Amino acid sequence: MLGELRRLHAEIAAHLDELDALTAQPQPPMDRLPAVRQALTRASRARTMLLERIYDRLIAEAPPPRKGAIEALRAEGKGSLITSTRHIGSWTLRDIAARRPDYCAASATMRAAMRERVRNEVRLIYPLLSNEAE
């Protein structure tokens, strides 16, 4: 599980970095943007599905001070999914092209939130999975 979670986190980070680079360009290449957004969505969804399969066990096995934090992480994940879905749905390619500065700002906010989420997952979940056989 830990190896798979690490792989998904690395994939998410790579796609976030690619979005950083694309949105930093004077005109983001609209032919690349949809593919990167879709790849990020797929990796994030796979990570969420993995975590949902193991949350109950993680919470049950976590030391008491971490149980609440992992439960909160799980709940925040549901809210993050809704926010992400709204972001993707509201920023069509036409909207991105028409309101590029607004999209770049909204995208930067989403990317920062995703990076923070991954940091929290690493901090809270990796230690609990580190004793498992890969």
Structure tokens at 25: 């360009």
pTM for this entry: 0.91
Does the residue 99 lie in any domain?
Answer: yes
Does the residue 134 lie in any domain?
Answer: no
pLDDT per residue rounded down to tens, the chain (134 residues): 899 999 999 999 999 999 999 999 988 788 999 999 999 999 999 999 999 999 999 999 899 989 999 999 999 988 888 999 899 999 999 999 999 999 999 999 999 999 999 999 999 999 999 876 45
Q: Would you say 15 and 39 are in contact if contact means Cβ atoms under 8 Å apart?
A: yes
Domain count, the chain: 1
Structure tokens at 92: 């069509």
Q: For residue range 91-102, list pLDDT tens digits in order.
A: 999 999 999 999
Question: What is the extent of the structural domain holding 59?
Answer: 2-129
